[in-house]
């Protein structure tokens, strides 16, 4: 395996109801990431983009994104229908083949131009589930109920996740929801989709971000302290909520094992948990100890969830923690599908 | 350096305009089961799955690979989704091959599918966004002016498109999986079909199909243990460029030329027309055969149509193109590119049956998409690289 | 729901509504069409003029198209097709011509209908001009223009910059 690292990142403050097009969202973050890496567009050997047509409300919506990256002369480029974290995985695979040394990964998610809860429900089984229009939040609520009933989580623990996320977000310019709250305050609010309250659900926002990856000596040349990818893996579970345990996450557990999370102490974990109870489940599935690992010090996806860019945002935050020396060893996680169906885990280390 | 990768199993559905007899999952499994049987393995032997398809709105399921994890017995495994417009079948196969070449997985199953009959394609592809004038001309209305540009530039006579179409429809009769089986076409009859998008005639357009293609790819270590025929991946290439910019060459896009140049370089090919035995080329409108012959560096500029006229691309010619019948005979969009890639493998594996080109050792699969802007190609051979 | 060959089939209509933003960089183009004006955008890097400005960026330079430039109204046909397909809801009699037109002062072609001449008279290089709909029907769309028609001027050669073959 080649040594591959994140050497530069870029993201912009998230917005609700942005008037920018996806292309206008992407263009500045890609330009900034390229600039931060100290390279030119022409130095990039592979580009990979993550986005979702149904969120853009347009088939082939990603085609316009090549306009934002200056694809001339023609470039080597690919696109995943999904979170940018998966695009990063494809770029990592590409770098492992030795075909190129520098890759740029970018993602965009405009969650506020359409009914996101309904759109994500379209991921469900089209014959037996979607016709019932359960709603994405409601499926997560089913999972939360199962966790509460099993004693895996409590409503207080869930509120604590929200309190910590909003507090930590105060120092994060891209976060949308930030401030000091108390558990009692949050628990006094009404259920939105019982047993979930508003604070248990992430805030859908519009956003874009970009990451530059490089291999071996190129990475050493481009970054003072590259965030070396020491392990990365993704796994999927059955989608059927009745056919898997909703109180654990097998796919996360396997991906974390393959990525080597447990091999050493983790300083920072950036977890894509769109619901409070899911952070608790994911921590447990990855074997993370919140007393020794800072969980979502950026505030995580709860305070700003640009779906399809939110997983890549975790990579941005974890890599920046390594760049700045706040972490020697960091974990980035991304999820996709109803109730944490698909999960990707990555371990990064500083030199 | 990258590891070697071989395709050891190829399986496709019986393509047709409406596979009402199966669900989306059933369609996918039909191709998968045939590919696994061809490889002589079971689905439990698969380490990872790479799926591609064209826009999700064609079936109305967002990111259907999530839901299809059940049908693919993929629990606890990696499932990866690619979407690069019409080239997606090709780029998906390339991403799958790279998982093997990078040494990450030993056995990868890759799938391209589309079940257009489950949705409403005309609706799914027309979203009222105010930058274009709705001239109600469809894909033909987009590509026909480009074909006109080629005809004007090359001086090709107007019957060339019909010749390609008759060849592909005739070839398709030798392919049991093809959507269209129409044995009675002659050039005279073809020229009588109406001009839909002048200069494109009815016969020169592709059908709309349901279908899937699946391939089993293995590392050298695993492939060596398999007794069946193999298609070794000698080279892969992808290139993209923007849809529209001032002065863009649309007849022979630079991205297509660069993709082919990259493939020939990586595959050690210096004289493509002599060294390649058979090409499965993405030709949704017949005129694209001579256009791509030139774009990919097989024929000199403005000479592609002469090759068609001289029968070079017939099954009996020196460079057979689309012995399977091509996209003109089956077009499940998200699978079409992978069908090209898979048919190229079948040729060098010697498993193409009645449309086999005898002794084929090196074959090329080609796919493109968007406004002739996304290109994916691979070069496969019966011989190890 | 229908049952044929013993297989149950069901129809599941899906409706999702979006509010779509043209973005700040392309808005002047669309506003222009509401007011009978053809506004293109110039790339600050390569100086070429885009009409329409697509996503508000120059795809070659990855630069925001900031400067408004009035183009046309006349233009030249760069290529075309004759449509013989009776699409559902089609309001124009077939055969009709869908042409790529490079407006004077623009460096990229746009697609529109050619009317007021026979389909077989249309040719590459033909000079055309817009026929606007009634003012009451103008909106932020190229549909504010009913069609283009020949001007009768001599054919023009297209500049190499705009030569979208």
pLDDT (tens digit per residue) in B89-122: 999 999 999 999 999 999 999 999 999 888 876 6
Residue C126's SS3 state is coil
- Tally of domains in chain C: 1
- Check whether B341 has a pLDDT greater than 80: yes
Q: Which of C10, C20, C26 sits opposite A57 (nearest CB)?
A: C20
Q: Which residue in C26, C28, C55 has the most chain A C-beta atoms within 10 A of its own C-beta, making it the best mutation to test that interface? A: C55
Residue C16 lies in a domain: no
> And the tokens for A259?
């990525």
Domain residues for the domain of C102 are 22-150
- Which residues are CB-contacts of B180 (< 8 A; sequence separation ≥ 6)? B169, B172, B207, B325, B328, B329, B330
DSSP string, B256-298: HHHHHHHHHHHHT-S-HHHH--EEE---SBTTHHHHHHHHTTS
Taking the domains of chain A in order of start, what are their residue ranges?
Answer: 4-115+204-227, 116-202+230-349
- Decide if A72 and C60 are in contact by the 8 Å CB cutoff: yes
Query: CATH number of the domain at A4-115+204-227, please?
Result: 3.40.47.10
**C123–chain A nearest CA distance, Å:** 30
Report CB contact under 8 Å: A119, C17: no
Give per-residue pLDDT as tens, A304-327: 999 999 999 999 999 999 999 999
The whole-model pTM stands at 0.96
C159: in domain:
no
Supply the pLDDT for residue B167.
98
Domain membership of residue C69 (yes or no) is yes
Please check whether residue A348 is in contact with residue A227, taking contact to mean a CB–CB distance below 8 angstroms: yes
Q: Which chains touch A (3 or more CB pairs under 8 A)?
A: B, C
Which of A203-217, B194-208, B291-305, B336-350 is the least confident region? B194-208
Here the tokens at position C124 are: 């590459």
Closest partner residue to B242 (CB to CB) among A67, A125, A254 is A67
Percentage with pLDDT > 90 across chain B: 86
Closest CA to B245 of A33, C61, C27: C61
Listed by number, the residues of chain A in 314-343 with a beta carbon closer than 8 Å to a beta carbon of chain B are: 336-338, 341-342
Q: What is the pLDDT of residues A72-131, one digit of tens each?
A: 999 999 999 999 999 999 999 999 999 999 999 999 999 998 999 999 999 999 999 999
Question: What is the pLDDT of chain B when averaged over all its residues?
Answer: 94
Residue of C nearest to A120 (CA): C16
CA distance linking residue C107 with residue C129, whole number of Å: 17
* Helix locations, B316-363, DSSP H: 333-349
Q: Do B200 and C81 touch (CB under 8 A)?
A: yes
- Chain A interface residues (partner C, CB cutoff 8 A): 18-24, 27, 30-31, 41, 54, 57, 64, 66-72, 113-115, 118-119, 122, 126-127, 130-131
Place of tokens 């140049």: B261
The secondary structure of A186-246 as a DSSP string is HHTSPEEETTEEGGGB--B-EEEEEEEEEEHHHHHHH-SS-EEEEEEEEEE--S-TTSS-T
What is the least distance, in Å, from the CA of A119 to any CA of chain C? 7
* Nearest CB partner across the interface for A66, out of C22, C25, C59: C59
Report, as an integer, the average pLDDT of B251-278: 98
Mean pLDDT in residue range B253-270: 98
Find residue A332's DSSP bridge partners.
A270, A346
Which residues in chain B are closer than 8 Å to C111, comparing Cβ atoms? 132-133, 135, 141
Establish if C9 belongs to a structural domain. Answer: no
Domains of chain B listed by start with CATH number:
5-121+208-223 (3.40.47.10)
Q: Answer yes or no: do A114 and C18 touch at CB < 8 A.
A: yes
Tell me how far apart the alpha carbons of residues C27 and C25 are, in angstroms, rounded to a whole number: 6
Q: Are A126 and C12 within 8 A, CB to CB? A: yes
Q: Of B250, B147, B370, B374, which Cα lies nearest the Cα of C163?
A: B250
What is the C-alpha to C-alpha distance for residues A18 and A24, in angstroms, rounded to an integer?
A: 10
Contact assignment for B66 to A239 by CB distance below 8 Å:
yes
> Which residues of chain C fall below pLDDT 70?
1-4, 87-91, 159-165
Q: Token match 């099993």: residue?
A: A150
B214 phi/psi in degrees, rounded to 5? -135, 145
List, in sequence order, every residue forming a beta bridge with A232; answer none if it has no partner: A346
Nearest one of A21, A68, A14 to C21, comparing CA atoms: A21
Q: Which CATH class for the A116-202+230-349 domain?
A: alpha beta
Is residue C37 a part of any domain in this protein? yes
pLDDT of residue A191 exceeding 60, the answer is: yes
The overall average pLDDT reported for chain A is 96
CA distance A47 to A100: 11
Subunit contact C88:B122, Cβ cutoff 8 A:
yes
Partners of residue B77 in chain A, C-beta under 8 Å: 235-236
| Residues in contact with A139: Cβ distance below 8 Å, sequence separation at least 6, in sequence order | A121, A124, A241, A338, A339
- What is the ipTM metric for this complex? 0.97
- The set of residues, in sequence order, having a beta carbon less than 8 Å from that of C66 and lying 6+ positions away, is C25, C41, C42, C44
In a domain, C121, yes or no: yes
Q: Answer whether residue C142 is part of any domain.
A: yes
Contact B94, B378 (CB under 8 A): yes
């Amino acid at each position: 395996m080649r040594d591959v690292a994140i050497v530069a990142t870029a993201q912009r403050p998230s917005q609700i109801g942005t008037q920018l097009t996806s292309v206008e969202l992407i263009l500045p973050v890609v330009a900034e990431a390229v600039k931060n890496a100290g390279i030119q567009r022409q130095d990039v050997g592979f580009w990979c983009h993550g986005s979702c047509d149904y969120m853009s409300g347009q088939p082939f919506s990603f085609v316009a994104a090549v306009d934002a990256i200056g694809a001339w002369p023609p470039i080597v480029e690919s696109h995943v229908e999904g979170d940018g974290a998966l695009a990063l995985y494809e770029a990592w695979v590409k770098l492992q083949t030795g075909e190129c040394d520098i890759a740029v990964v970018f993602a965009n998610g405009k969650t506020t131009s359409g009914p996101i809860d309904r759109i994500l429900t379209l991921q469900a089984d089209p014959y037996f589930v979607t016709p019932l229009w359960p709603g994405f939040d409601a499926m997560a609520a089913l999972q939360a109920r199962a966790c509460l009933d099993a004693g895996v989580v409590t409503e207080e623990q869930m509120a604590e996740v929200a309190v910590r996320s909003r507090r930590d977000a105060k120092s994060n310019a891209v976060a949308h929801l930030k401030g000091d709250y108390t558990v009692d305050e949050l628990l006094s609010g009404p259920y939105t989709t019982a047993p979930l309250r508003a604070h248990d659900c992430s805030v859908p926002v519009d956003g874009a971000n970009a990451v530059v990856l490089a291999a071996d000596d190129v990475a050493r040349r481009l970054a003072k302290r590259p965030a070396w990818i020491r392990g990365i893996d993704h796994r999927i579970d059955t989608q059927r909520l009745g056919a898997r345990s909703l109180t654990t996450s097998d796919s996360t557990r396997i991906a974390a094992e393959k990525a080597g999370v447990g091999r050493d102490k983790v300083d920072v974990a950036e977890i894509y948990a769109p619901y409070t109870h899911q952070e608790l489940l994911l921590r447990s599935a990855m074997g993370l100890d919140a007393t020794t690992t800072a969980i979502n010090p950026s505030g995580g996806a709860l305070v700003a969830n640009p779906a399809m860019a939110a997983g890549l945002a975790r990579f941005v935050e974890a890599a920046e923690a390594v760049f700045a020396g706040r972490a020697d060893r960091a974990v980035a996680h991304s999820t996709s599908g109803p109730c944490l169906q698909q999960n990707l885990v990555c371990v990064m280390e500083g030199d | 350096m990258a590891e070697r990768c071989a395709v050891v199993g190829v399986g496709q559905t019986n393509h047709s305009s409406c596979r009402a007899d199966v669900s989306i999952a059933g369609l996918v499994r039909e191709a998968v089961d045939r590919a696994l049987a061809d490889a002589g393995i079971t689905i439990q032997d698969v380490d990872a799955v790479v799926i591609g398809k064209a826009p999700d709105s064609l079936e109305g399921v967002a990111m259907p690979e999530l839901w299809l994890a059940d049908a693919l017995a993929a629990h606890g495994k990696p499932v990866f989704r690619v979407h690069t417009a019409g080239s997606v079948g090709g780029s998906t196969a390339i991403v799958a091959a790279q998982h093997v070449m990078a040494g990450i997985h030993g056995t990868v199953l890759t799938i391209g599918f589309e079940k257009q009959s489950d949705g409403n394609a005309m609706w799914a592809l027309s979203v009222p966004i105010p930058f274009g004038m709705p001239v109600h001309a469809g894909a033909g209305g987009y590509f026909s002016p480009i074909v006109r540009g080629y005809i004007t530039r090359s001086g090709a006579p107007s019957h060339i498109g019909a010749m390609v179409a008759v060849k592909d429809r005739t070839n398709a009769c030798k392919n049991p999986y093809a959507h269209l089986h129409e044995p009675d076409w002659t050039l005279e009859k073809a020229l009588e079909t109406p001009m839909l998008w002048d200069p494109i005639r009815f016969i020169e357009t592709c059908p709309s199909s349901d279908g899937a293609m699946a391939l089993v790819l293995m590392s050298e270590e695993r492939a060596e243990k398999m007794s069946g025929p193999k298609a070794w991946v000698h080279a892969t290439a992808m290139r993209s460029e923007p849809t529209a910019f001032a002065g863009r060459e649309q007849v022979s896009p630079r991205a297509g030329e660069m993709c082919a140049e990259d493939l020939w370089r990586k595959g050690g090919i210096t004289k493509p027309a002599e060294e390649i035995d058979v090409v499965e080329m993405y030709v949704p409108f017949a005129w694209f055969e001579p256009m791509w012959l030139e774009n990919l560096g097989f024929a000199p500029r403005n000479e592609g149509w002469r090759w068609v006229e001289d029968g070079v691309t017939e099954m009996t010619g020196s460079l057979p193109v689309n012995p399977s019948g091509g996209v003109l005979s089956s077009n499940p969009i998200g699978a079409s590119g992978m069908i090209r890639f898979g048919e190229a493998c079948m040729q060098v594996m010697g498993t193409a049956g009645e449309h086999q080109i005898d002794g084929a050792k090196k074959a090329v699969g080609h796919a493109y998409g968007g406004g002739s802007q996304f290109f994916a190609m691979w070069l496969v051979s019966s011989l190890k690289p | 729901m229908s049952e044929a060959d013993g297989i149950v089939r069901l129809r599941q209509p899906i409706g999702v509504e979006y509010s779509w933003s043209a973005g700040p960089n392309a808005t002047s183009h669309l506003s222009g069409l509401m007011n009978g004006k053809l506004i293109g955008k110039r790339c600050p890097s390569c100086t070429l003029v885009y009409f329409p400005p697509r996503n508000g960026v120059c795809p070659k330079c990855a630069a925001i198209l900031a400067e408004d430039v009035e183009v046309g109204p006349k233009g030249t046909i760069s290529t075309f097709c004759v449509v013989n397909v009776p699409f559902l809801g089609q309001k124009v009699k077939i055969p009709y011509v869908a042409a790529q037109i490079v407006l004077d002062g623009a460096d990229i072609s746009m697609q529109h209908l050619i009317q007021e001449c026979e389909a077989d008279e249309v040719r590459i290089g033909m000079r055309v001009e817009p026929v606007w709909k009634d003012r009451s029907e103008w909106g932020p769309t190229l549909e504010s223009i009913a069609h283009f028609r020949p001007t009768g001027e001599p054919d023009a050669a297209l500049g190499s910059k705009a030569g979208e073959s």
